[in-house]
Amino acid sequence: MQYVSTRGDAPVLGFSDAVLAGLARDGGLYVPREWPQFSASDIRAMRGLAYPDLAIRVLTPFLGGEIAAPVFEKLVREAYATFRHEAVCPLVQTGANAFVLELFHGPTLAFKDVAMQLLARLMDHVLAERDQRATIVGATSGDTGGAAIDAFAGRNRTDIFILFPHGKVSPVQQRQMTTSTAANVHALALEGNFDDCQGLVKDMFNDHGFRDRVSLSGVNSINWARIMAQIVYYFSSALSLGAPDRPISFTVPTGNFGDIFAGYAAKRMGLPIERLIIATNDNDILARTLASGEYRTKGVFATTSPSMDIQVSSNFERLLFEAAGRDAATVRRYMNGLKQSGAFTIETGQIASIRAEFDAGRAGVDEVAATIRSTLEASNYLLDPHTAAAMHVAVGKAVGAIPMVVLGTAHPAKFPAAVEAACGVSPALPAWLGSLMSADEKYTVLPSDLKMVEDYVTRHTRAAR
């Protein structure tokens, strides 16, 4: 398997190089040259597999033979042994034909753990084989940072720098980043919002001198391996509900479009998915884009679902590449428009092809709170605000007998204030995270300034040449 850039002007890479590359050198995102295919009988044969075995089956075609089967199996088993639920990603019924796919049983209580635990092990393996080190720089609106720090803490071949928007993440999210005692972990509170953090990370990748000097790698969903690992739970949940003999729809709380793009990938690989529904909060750029065909950024609003407070939705570029028939020139034109004027208009045929697969809806802060309350009353099920945004959208989009799976992307205890304000119940952190809120915090506040962040990284990484 080879990986090509959505902007068509970067080297074509094999799997291991794509894992280390993060962003392509032309500013684009890597995608597999073709989608592995599973027939209905291949999918039927996956029924009953334990999650790690399913992951091995679904993901092996992406490796292109670069990682020996016993090694990959060991990495996968170790990654999912960190989860505290036997099913890894269990499916819970919350209504007639309505389900929540719980993705928050990993070490940091968010869906990011599913991919990050595997990615850290894959990177370590590739770096060890090459006897190299890497500097990881990541941006977070709250959950990626904690998951990445947990997965990479103490790893000898990587130093990790996480940029989070100062004062704009929940206290639990912040402490998951700032209480690590590992010497290779650096939490950086940036004066700005998530889009500023993500913009700086991309600028660092596009500064090739810096990139090469520190052997830069990325752990955001710009890294193909993040998306890849997230494909598996679309298969596991659909199989539980009768795939491939029954189509399933998914509603996904969406920010950077990584999670829902993994669903699109699963569909392209043969999984019978009826609709992929994008749920946004008040930062509704994707819902507006689907309605109007124009992608137009406006300011970021702070909401009770802070991890979705995003305007520049990185992985939408991967979808545009597919919708444009993999024409990199079209993607470059759109991305230039975004850079120059904060907007671009999607060609008519392309937006029609996106609408054929996707639907979208928005949940405002009051609707999120009302959904937390009503779901608790009706189903005795406590939602976090991100999952609640998706639940609100899903209710309006459910169609007849087709099961609707809402992706449960975070544990409610990560957002106790918003949950308590909505329904009066303050969810407690699991006992094994008990010391989190009293541990000492360590982080550095930096302005949203490329040079200052690059200088900080250069001074603190062990990978600088």
Ligand X SMILES: N[C@@H](CCOP(=O)(O)O)C(=O)O
Contacts with ligand X by CB under 6 A lie at 140-145, 220-221, 255-256, 258, 307, 314
Q: Which residues of 35-64 are buried (b: 16+ CB within 10 A; e: fewer)?
A: bbebeeeebeebeebebbebbbbbbbbbbb
Q: Is 259 in the site for ligand PLP (CB under 6 A)?
A: yes
Q: Which is nearer to ligand X, 241 or 277 (CB)?
A: 277
Instruction: Sketch the per residue contact string, 381 through 400, with ligand PLP: x for CB under 6 A, - otherwise.
Output: -----x--------------
Phi-psi region of 193 (alpha: psi -120 to 50; beta: other; left: phi over 0): beta
Q: Which stretch binds ligand PLP (CB under 6 A): 75-83, 87-95, 201-209, 251-259?
A: 251-259
Should residue 307 be labelled a site residue for ligand PLP when binding is judged by CB under 6 A?
yes
Q: Which of 74, 112, 442, 451 is catalytic?
A: 112
Compute the least distance from the CB of residue 198 to ligand X, in Å. 7
Both tokens of residue 202?
A: 């991309």
The site that binds ligand PLP (CB under 6 A) totals a number of residues, namely: 16
Cα gap 363→358, rounded to integer Å: 17
DSSP classification of residue 414: G
Site for ligand PLP in 210-239 (CB under 6 A): 221
The least distance separating ligand PLP from the CB of residue 457, rounded to whole angstroms, comes to: 23
Indicate which of ligand X, ligand PLP, none lies near residue 220 (CB less than 5 to 8 Å, by partner kind): ligand X
**Could you say which of 258, 263, 403, 416 contacts ligand PLP (CB under 6 A)?**
258
**Interior angle at CA 271, CA 269 and CA 275, nearest 5:** 110
Nearer to ligand PLP (CB atom), residue 230 or residue 461: 230
Q: Which is nearer to ligand PLP, 145 or 244 (CB)?
A: 145
Directed axis angle between helix 194-206 and helix 450-460, to 10°? 70
Residue labelled with tokens 């962040």: 453
Among 102, 124, 143, 322, binds ligand PLP (CB under 6 A): 143
Q: Is position 202 annotated as part of the catalytic site? A: no
Torsion of CA 145, 148, 150, 154, to 10 degrees: -120
Cα–Cα distance, 46 to 137 (Å, whole number): 36
- The answer to whether residues 411 and 428 touch, using CB atoms and an 8 Å cutoff, is no
Q: Is 454 in the site for ligand PLP (CB under 6 A)?
A: no
Q: Do 330 and 7 meet the contact criterion of CB atoms below 8 Å apart? A: no
Return the residue of 99, 152, 250, 257 that touches ligand PLP, per CB under 6 A: 257
Binding residues for ligand PLP, rule: CB under 6 A, are: 110, 142-143, 221, 253-259, 307-308, 386, 409-410
Catalytic residue positions, numbered: 112
